[in-house]
Chains A and B, each alone.
Chain A
Amino acid sequence: MIAALFAEAWHSMKANRMRSFLTMLGMVIGVAAVILMMAIGEGAQMTVKESIASMGSNLFIVLSGSATSGGIRLGAGAAPTLTVGDAEALAQLSAISAVAPAQPGTAQIIYGSNNWSTTVLGTTPSYLVVRDWLLASGYGFTDADVRSAARVALIGQTVARNLFGNVDPVGRILRIKQSPFLVIGLLVAKGQSLDGRDQDDTLLVPVTTAQRQLFGTQFPGSVRFIMAQAISAEAMAGGQKDMTGLLRQRHHLPDRAENDFDIRNLTALADAAAQTTRVMSLMLGAIASVSLLVGGIGIMNIMLVSVTERTREIGIRVAIGARQRDILLQFLLEAVILSAAGCFAGVVCGVGTVLLTYLITGTAVVITLSSIALAFLVASAVGVFFGFYPARKAARLQPIEALRFQ
């Protein structure tokens, strides 16, 4: 019986090709919009997630505090209060899994006839752990290198490209501020950071080498900042408190004094960025859903017109033995076929548009199966929902009035 009514619905739609097509169009656009918007939203979320992951997870950065010189406060990082010793002490805290002191500076680097200015970061082997950074080739420096202030360097992809071109940099000697350094490792590419810096434009050397041979220090062992990684996201709040207590104690601060350092939770920033994109993609989805709703209303509109137009046909069908539910089912099936077909075409159009968007603009896009499934499900539900009212109207027509209708 359903199959027969399905055939009836199909015939009636085929007989009204243009009308069926126009009805479907709303659905096609709605579904395509949902898929496109969700793909862009997912793409944005993925980009942000990658940026966050490239920064390292559960990260703190400890900056030395502000110094005051003649009434002028010099801002965070100006006072040389943090030391390698602080970093080693922080590493003992149970909530902290890895700590890396960092002494950055800018230097001109020379290899052969090429030269390049970049950030040279003096640090310890744990820096790679804290930043989740792997080596593309070679090996990292060791604690022994740090103790002996060895002249070894790990270089980022951007530095490698600018100084070495196609030559394998590992094992070569480059010069930083006239001193020769052996390149022992090449870092993998990390790409842009959240704020747009090129994370690969850097060079890592042992912290002791940076302090003693490249940039000097305000006092022995001082570092500009310390990066610390908590053992888990849940441990971050406790970790921050423990670190504050420990540093205050090590810096001999009286109870009333302000901190002479500043601990920042980088994950909070990342979370905010992720939250923003999530809200954005939700909003895109909501806007697209509106077009799906409009498509559904379009179907209802046309079905209502169709019911009125075919009043006499309904009368005939009732007179020759159709029950109310036969009529209801036929019109409901028409609405469902229209929305399902529109949905299918919409998925095809949507995926096509997504690919086109990617090819033309290069925007990151992600088509998930769940977004297609969701669009399909919602569209079918919309079809049934908006198809029901006209179908019920058709089924409730009084046969004699329907037959009298011209």
Chain B
Amino acid sequence: MAVDVLLRVEHLSKSYHTDAGDVPILKDIDLIVERGESIAIMGPSGSGKSTLMNILGCLDLPSGGRYILDGRDVGTLDADERAHLRSEVIGFVFQGFNLLSRATIQDNVALPLLYGGVAPAARQARARDMLDKVGLHGFETYLPSRISGGQQQRVAIARALANRPQLILADEPTGNLDTKTSHDIMDLFVALNANEGITLVLVTHEADIARYAKRLVQIVDGRIVADGPAERLLSARASS
């Protein structure tokens, strides 16, 4: 059976050096994500899910094992090649939105295109398209501080979409939002996943949010303890 693999993680481990010795964060992680999947990574605080996210996002390197993204072995790439890969393949959405406070919303969305080498006029046009897509038409010239948290997260999503990524990595994307806004944002993610085939990997500790994904990966103490359809795992968790 020909599966279209977007990313493959093999025997991945990560430990940090401290004065007290090496502290292992991730232990022997194996994970395969196919194109078009939507996956929620769940786990308690300190389970290593954010570290895994950073490695998947090429912001951090594994201590052991291999990570292959879009056919490239990330461990063998230098900093600039990883930056290029991030710019080409990945869109990030953070819990804290991480918009540039002094730039307008449209400039924020256009920023990844700058590093992707897109011409100025095309940058602004695409930024406007992306803002339309997330429902923020008319807010182009606002500064991030003038709009609500939910709107800011929509800007962040528009920014993540700007380079037409194959993979969106969302780290607690609803962590700073109220329940209703959280569900609106998750609906947007699901729509992007369903309509545009963008692979979605999100980290959360809320079951309600994880339920939006089709597949659920649970991490405890740096190991994957469960991996399967989200609906089944979550109902099993609820009943136990």
Residues of A within 8 A of B (CB): 1, 4-5, 8, 11-12, 15, 312-313, 315-326, 399-400, 403
Contacts and interface: CB of A to CB of B under 8 A. Distances in A.
Interface of B: 54, 57, 59-60, 79-80, 83-84, 86-88, 91-92, 94, 98-100, 102-103, 107, 111-112, 114-117, 120, 159-160, 163
B96 to A, nearest CB: 9
B115 A319 contact: no
Given A320-B115, A321-B115, A321-B163, A312 B98 contact: yes
B114 A8 contact: yes
B159 A313 contact: no
A122 B219 CA distance: 114
A5 B114 CA distance: 8
Given A319-B59, A319-B92, A320-B159, A326 B103 contact: no
Given A11-B103, A319-B92, A400-B54, A324 B98 contact: no
A28 to B, nearest CB: 25
A399 B80 contact: no
A15 B145 CA distance: 14
24 contacts: A4-B114, A4-B120, A5-B114, A11-B102, A11-B103, A11-B107, A315-B98, A317-B111, A318-B83, A319-B57, A319-B59, A319-B92, A319-B98, A320-B87, A320-B91, A321-B86, A322-B115, A323-B79, A323-B80, A323-B83, A324-B83, A399-B60, A403-B94, A403-B98
Contacts of B115: 317, 320-323, 326
A214 B60 CA distance: 104
A3 to B, nearest CB: 8
B98 A316 contact: yes
A11 to B, nearest CB: 7
Contacts of B79: 323-324
A121 B160 CA distance: 95
A312 B98 CA distance: 8
A15 B94 contact: no
Contacts of A399: 59-60
Contacts of A312: 98
